[in-house]
Structure 1
């Protein structure tokens, strides 16, 4: 299974970016995993929140393959414990060929993106910065791969 993490805007924080790159590289030892960054919108001061979500949504949808199973990282999504997420991911590895996780912009997703999604997932009930979510999520994907392989990275 090929897994893509689709991001709106680059990761600005150097420490987060280094951590993300490290976890992506580690995960690739287990399964093909890549980041795809959509450039941030320019001149957003003239756009209201809804307009910005619509424009970002168009870019997101253009960057998702028609055959991909799409999971939005969204505050209203399902929460998993790490071992539950590993079981979920292991099941997806057996049943689908392409998986795309999407982290949207600061205002979330447009209605069109919600309609395209197959699922929504949340990392926490707490509000986290979009930059931090990237690092935490890539670590959880790596952790899930080690759990699936019964390696010693994760402890219960």
Structure 2
């Protein structure tokens, strides 16, 4: 069974976004082992210090043998069908994928530099909690495509 980790800065509080996230996570249970790992938001007043502190906490949660995918506005954009084939290709060559979502200020350079792949959901700015939902929906869509499930339509 495929293993995916989602490391995110900030805690998902009870909200409509969490309900949607949890619904997709539940539907994915039979296809993959999905682990959510939250990192505390830094309270530093300095933006760069916040990113560095959050980056250090993220590093502690990344295993050495995983393929690292970060979400970044300057990352590569994929059509859903190509994202699915990219996930399949990565999992054929790696034991797991770790997706990393930064906080409100983004990710520090150290995390960006160690990423195997940088992806983007477009050039618009999205709330990082919303990005979690967008990511898990695309993961669900990718596994639907790979399993010939009719969820995805072209």
Indicate the TM-score class for this superposition, using the shorter chain for normalisation.
Answer: over 0.9
- The superposition leaves residues 87-142 of structure 1 with CA deviations (integer Å, 9 ceiling, x where unpaired) of 11111121110110000111111111112211100012221111111111101100
**Aligned counterparts of 1:13 and 1:113: Cα–Cα separation in 2:** 28
Q: Which moved more, 1:22-31 or 1:48-57?
A: 22-31
Q: Check the 8 A contact 1:13/1:131 in 2, yes or no.
A: no
CA shift at 1:143, angstroms? 0.5
Pick the aligned partner of 2:147 from 146, 149, 155. 149
Pick the aligned partner of 2:110 from 103, 109, 112. 112
Structure 1 runs of 4+ aligned residues shifted over 3 Å read: none
Work out whether 1:34 is the aligned partner of 2:35. yes
**Aligned counterparts of 2:127 and 2:14: Cα–Cα separation in 1:** 11
Unaligned segments of structure 2, at least 5 residues = none
TM-score by length of 2: 0.94
- The superposition leaves residues 15-41 of structure 1 with CA deviations (integer Å, 9 ceiling, x where unpaired) of 000111111111122111121111222
Q: Check the 8 A contact 1:24/1:138 in 2, yes or no.
A: yes
Work out whether 1:56 is the aligned partner of 2:54. yes
Unaligned segments of structure 1, at least 5 residues = none
TM-score by length of 1: 0.93
CA RMSD of aligned residues (A): 1.2
Q: Check the 8 A contact 1:24/1:34 in 2, yes or no.
A: no
Pick the aligned partner of 2:130 from 103, 107, 132. 132
CA shift at 1:12, angstroms? 3.5
- Match for residue 20 of structure 1? 21
Across the two proteins, how many residue pairs are aligned to each other? 153
CA shift at 1:13, angstroms? 5.7
- Match for residue 68 of structure 2? 70
Q: Check the 8 A contact 1:2/1:33 in 2, yes or no.
A: yes
